[in-house]
Structure 1
Amino acid sequence: MIPMITFKRFLVLSLILAVGFFSRSSFAQSVSDASACRADVTFLMDNTGSMGGPINSTKRNAQSILDAISGGDPRFAGIDTRYAVATYWGDPREYVAGGSSIWYCHRKSCPYSWCNRYICENPSGYCARYWPSQCISREPTEAQKKAAAQKAFRINQPLTDSKTLTRRGMNEWRPCSSPGGCGGDWAEANLFALQQLATGGQSTDGACIDPLYSGASCSDHGYASGYDVGWREDSGRIIVWFGDACSWSTTVDITEATKALQSNNVVVAGINSYSEHSGIDYYRDGRSGRCVWDGSKKGQATSITESTGGSLTNRVSGTAGTVNAILDAVAGGMAQSGSAAAVSFNVSSITEDTRVYQSFFNAKDWSGDLIAYDLNEENGSIGDKVWSAA
């Protein structure tokens, strides 16, 4: 524990730094006057079959959107901005079967077309039911896991200052585009894509932290795409996330995605085609990949955007609505990502009990906090949250 006088001085200094960044006469000035600011903005788009409207609106207006964020809109004047483009499709479990094992049936042993290398999610699947002697069970190989991850998510364009390359990356967006296709069910790879962007394509944790819903099984085999967007060390990091369906949570759950985003200082701004509690803001996924509505509980997108200090814009449609939502989301994300003050340590060298302290400032309501995290003695990585001043 740090002494109270030290804590108070640290928190006051952190808030002064944060308020100094935002103490301007207007929100527009608060962003544009930050002359030395750097912002990395990644546009993440669902490319499954129902996303034609958002994809076309964004592509059609890509030049005006990028011109505005590059300084044409006074909210962004003077900011060194780079852009990236990324895509997600179905969850990795849709490309390598979910559950604890993969069940194969082979065409030569089964006369029906649906048994052509049919993959059952569980031993009671059709092929296993009718031809149990022809099915085998085994864990996916590393090559299969990587292939599944790279079908679920890809980076079309790593971070660049070139608007031409950014537009070229966006032009690869299409409903049912390759390699992920149309998506085999309703739920998609939203949370997996966010985790991959935050971590530079590193492996998922191979576990399910959040409680599973009835009938679900953990499908996280440890998936890594290896795709690194290239965040700059000293930049504000914003993901503008477009989608219209919930995410599978049996591969990457809310807790894992949130931890990845927070520990890498990424702000998420959601652009939802549907209303609150629908689209990307459904409460959770369900059996057979359906999305579950519950108006009394926090939706997936609400959880992610609130926990990262971002924003969620619902019912976004049409050209004007899409453009305005994107610009507002990026402006808000830049403001929030620029609000974190420095990190402090409670000792001069890493030991078993080392804590890392980080201050936070919420640009929306001018609130602040000081949070302590465990620090891994062996590799220096940030661990679990252990204390908060709020």
Structure 2
Amino acid sequence: MSDYTNAFYKKTARIMIAVCGLLFSLFSFVYLYVFQRDVLEALHFSLAHGKTTFAPMASALVITLILLLLRWGVNSLLGLKGRVRALAYVPSFLVLCALTDVGRGVYISDYHTPWTWLLPLLVLLFVEIGYWLRGVFRVQLNHEGSLWGLVNSNLAILLGLCLLTVCVGSTNRQFHHELEAEHYLRAGEYDKVLRVGEKSLEASRTLTAYRAVALSHLGKMGDKLFAYPQYYRSDGLFFETDSLHTLRYTNDSIYYLLGARPYTGEDRMVFLRNICYKGTGKYTSLDYYLSALLLEKKLDSFAQAVPDFYLPEDTLPRYYREALVMYHVQRNDTVSSRADSLTLDRFKAYQTLQQKEGSPLEERNRMRREFGDTYWWYYDYQE
């Protein structure tokens, strides 16, 4: 190989090192700051026990810098060259996997992850195998091959490691939605809580409870509750008792919002009714009680409760009006004066569309497209 070719090869190799470093830095920062930001915050909270403030951008930058230094140390140790130089990033990518492979158990007090022992083991195995391969392929590593082979091989290794990291890291969309909603709830940004996953028909019980809390703070539970999927009836207003599912919020935070907590073993519906009628709860408890009745499809109890808490001249929230219209139509009663003409006209359109021929599934989907954000659809079609 001529001196010119040799110099050009070395120059290309140096450029390749810089390009790989830049690509890794971009991937690491974007992956941590954009795609795994909520997971990283949850892990930080768990490890720091909530005693320090999480700075997402600074954290992503610092971690990326540390991983670059780790790559430099690994390459200095193993002396990887040529087509396999990018393998020096393997430990750095393993650290990214360990940081982002987080599940709902992250907030448990005795939380532990297999990565605690798996990460050191994998790094140690990589170093040992790297030493062995360096001895076996010493001649090949020192041989200057084609430039295209140098570029393609290193880029392929880097791409493969990126894909592996994405596959191993947390990709549970519902979990990410829960973490994002929780972040905004803690920050008091209730409108942003409602925008999390708003276009999706998927909704975990935790996310459903977060939305209810946000709506309660905004005073919009009676106007917007059924604009979001409700799969858990009145249970969706509360968190599960299992800490694996409730993240940082628990039902204690909801009881604080309501201004009272139930006795041990007390039924939640009875609890909500008692604090409303006895006046021991905050004003937020009324929306929780009336919404719980609607979620359980107890129209009789709902219709009886409304006059107890609202004056005839009061304007009812949207879903309360819709429920009363359905209640009176079902019983062939005179429709309540609380119902406005727009609600009545829309309910007539709902009934008309309901009469069209089609299978039960076709009818359900057709009605969802037109009236999926109404209480009527929930009452008739949500199981």
TM-score category of the 2 structures, normalised to the smaller one: under 0.3
Q: Which has the larger radius of gyration?
A: 2
Answer 1 or 2: which has greater helix percent.
2
Q: Could you tell me the TM-score, scaled by structure 1's length?
A: 0.23
Answer 1 or 2: which has greater strand percent.
1
